[in-house]
Chain A
Amino acid sequence: MSVAQQTDNRQAAETLLSVRGVETFYGKIQALRGVDIEVHRGEIVTLIGANGAGKSTLMMTICGNPQARSGQIVYNGQDITNLPTHDIMSMSIAQSPEGRRIFPRMTVIENLQMGAILEDEANFEDDLRKVFTLFPRLKERRGQRGGTLSGGEQQMLAIGRALMSRPKLLLLDEPSLGLAPLVVKQIFEAIRELNTNEGLTVFLVEQNAFHALRLAHRGYVMVNGSITMSGTGRELLAREEVRSAYLEGGAH
């Protein structure tokens, strides 16, 4: 696969996000035990792991809610470990949160408007057109309330809303959750498109290891709050431990 080759060339590329030795606690319970992750500019990096491994916690820690108790998170050369969430999220990082969290009583257009709320209004029309080209379904449903969309459409809306803020780094928390295989394919295709056409850097947290690893340039495997394996997507897919733990059970 040529994508993997490209990645190897990019290994030395600039680091956009780096997570170093991050530990996060919920009260007394330790959720992350010294996590190290690097995301380079223009990459798709995925983090896979079982339920409760701490994947979403890492995502939330990057966003500053909860904040890391120790360790450091650096984005674009700036330490963001102790910044409040709204400051982090206005630094060209966008997130499609776990469970989508679209605004159910607002229309599709209004949801997308909310994504662009910190942006210059002059860009709105252009960005909207881009999102509509990426997800034509959203255009069809533009006047419909968010809560009445199907799960797949809601996920598209959550990603579209994140894209409206013109991010450099897109954080996706389980975009395939509860979706039909065909829709998952569509969404992953869109992510790949964004990455190849626009050079968007994507950090993807997934349980759907097979699809995620096939899509990603590099991947990390998280078990019990620490990273146990890392490598290119292909390498991880080929490894026996990954296959037995995350694929055989899932890939019928």
Chain B
Amino acid sequence: MANSTTSASANRPEGAERLSEERREAMRGEPPFVEAPTDDTRLVRALKEAGVTAGLVAVLTLFFFFFRTDIAVGGLNLTVDPKSWIIAVGIAFAGRFLLTYFVFAGERPTIGGWKKVAAASARWPIGKVLGITLLLIALTLPFLLMTLLPGQDRYLLDLSILILTYVMLGWGLNIVVGLAGLLDLGYVAFYAVGAYSFALLATNFDLGFWICLPMAGLFAALWGVMLGFPVLRLRGDYLAIVTLAFGEIIRVVLLNWYDFTGGPNGILGIPKPTLFGLEFSRGEGSFSDFFGLEYSSIQRFVFLYYIILALALLTNFVTMRMRKLPVGRAWEALREDEIACRSLGINTVNVKLTAFATGAMFGGFAGSFFATRQGFISPESFTFIESAIILAIVVLGGLGSQLGVVIASVVMIGGIELLRNLTGLQAIFGAGFDPTQYRMLIFGLAMVLIMVWKPRGLVSTRTPSAIYKEKKTIGADLVAQGEGH
């Protein structure tokens, strides 16, 4: 077991077992070691591969080098030029021979190379690589946009903020629908409760964003419990209908309770978030003034971007942690089989309530962010289509998959935006074609195609939350020799 190749993964005992299993999977049917090629076989192999390469080049370049046509009086003049053709073939032969003999065969046979790569990528599963890459891009995105696309940075940053808001909402709903398996068609209600809680607290009591944010989350969670308590005995379709109704009730109340919510006029003048009291505006005591920077309106966008990124990452972090705790495991078990859960002594009502409340809380956070970003909210922003989009993101991404939600958000929200700008389609359909009119149609079609292609969502695999690794007892004599770790 003390093989040097496994030592890197053994540093992380939790993953070591799975990694070694995955590696075994990847190497299945392959001998564990490939014999180091001797000099003779190396030469033969190099010559053979060089020959094949030269042959291919000879065929492919035959009509480019060997035959040559020049424009001449009365047509084309065909000349034969074997010299440059032979030179090209010769270069290919020599190049391939040198590569094979010294580079490829030196360490490993060329054909075995792919399998090595597959084994190496098993150590770094594609989801993990993609996740880290996306995280790095997300962390540096404002600066990337400002340097690479200075003309469009404001628009693109705004779009990124929108996408991240949906990522966060998707992650929040993923707890309820993806993990706990409770179909919630009224998730926008919690988004609305969060937004209105924040707006009302901020405008009536003159409180700042950072104080109102947790309060808005708590309010939303409270509403989650209040809704959940009576309805969570329902299942499947029935629960979906009740949550759908709840979403509409909230919207109608917001619309008609004129004295409190401002009715259809909404709430104006919601304060912008500050960085430790520094405002993102011109003049004394502002962010740019404090740091001695030149004022630019993009600074506020960058700040908003990082707030929503932090909130979204918090959602993700909490979800990932929860999955490893008993309550999170119970969520997933509940989705699988409710009767089995009860037979294990799990109070299913409580488990559902925690899922509902946690999901609602993150919806509330996202709602207050939405309110502060817009500066104005009205019931129009919280219609059923929002719930549907968020649910579509979760389903499209693959129920329960965190990475899937990110990809689906980018595809859905970014895709809708992209279709707005597809003036290039006018070249195909004529000048009268207005892409914005067809974007929902195109978009719906794309979603149908994706669901046909991947019926269980873009990321349908589920990562186990626990891996068993047996403790090994290591003899002292082995430890002394520096083995057995």
Contact = CB atoms under 8 A, between A and B. Distances in A.
Contacts, number: 82
B466 A107 contact: yes
B211 interface: no
A142 to B, nearest CB: 5
A231 interface: no
Contacts of B268: none
A205 interface: no
Contact of A63 (B329, B343, B465): B343
B464 A165 contact: no
Given A86-B347, A165-B344, 18 more contacts: A63-B343, A84-B347, A85-B343, A86-B345, A87-B345, A90-B345, A97-B343, A101-B337, A103-B337, A103-B340, A105-B462, A106-B332, A107-B466, A114-B330, A114-B333, A118-B344, A143-B17, A143-B468
Contact of B342 (A85, A94, A105): A85
B348 interface: yes
A114 B342 CA distance: 11
A145 B462 CA distance: 10
A97 B332 CA distance: 19
Contacts of B468: 109, 128, 142-143
Contacts of B342: 63, 65, 85-86, 89
Contacts of A143: 17-18, 21, 464, 467-468
A97 B337 CA distance: 12
A101 B345 contact: no
B475 interface: no
B289 to A, nearest CB: 53
B464 A109 contact: yes
B119 interface: no
Nearest to A128: B468
A84 B342 CA distance: 10
B118 interface: no
A102 B337 CA distance: 8
Contacts of B326: 117
A95 B341 CA distance: 11
B345 A89 contact: yes
A89 B332 CA distance: 19
A110 interface: yes
Interface of A: 63, 65, 84-90, 94-95, 97, 101-107, 109-110, 113-115, 117-118, 128, 142-143, 161, 165
B339 interface: yes
B346 interface: yes
A142 B466 CA distance: 10
Given A65-B342, A101-B339, A106 B333 contact: yes
Given A105-B462, A109-B468, A117-B326, A95 B343 contact: yes
Contacts of B17: 143
Interface in B330-363: 330, 332-333, 336-337, 339-348
Contacts of B341: 114
Contacts of A94: 344
| Interface pairs A-B: 8 shortest CB-CB | A89-B345, A90-B345, A101-B340, A103-B336, A86-B347, A107-B464, A109-B468, A85-B342
Contacts of A118: 344-346
Nearest to B462: A105
Contacts of B330: 114, 117
A34 to B, nearest CB: 25
Contacts of B340: 97, 101-103
Contacts of B18: 143
A110 B465 CA distance: 7
A65 B346 CA distance: 14
Nearest to B327: A117
B132 to A, nearest CB: 24
A118 B344 CA distance: 8
Contact of A106 (B336, B345, B348, B467): B336
A165 B332 CA distance: 19
A113 B466 contact: yes
A129 to B, nearest CB: 9
B218 to A, nearest CB: 27
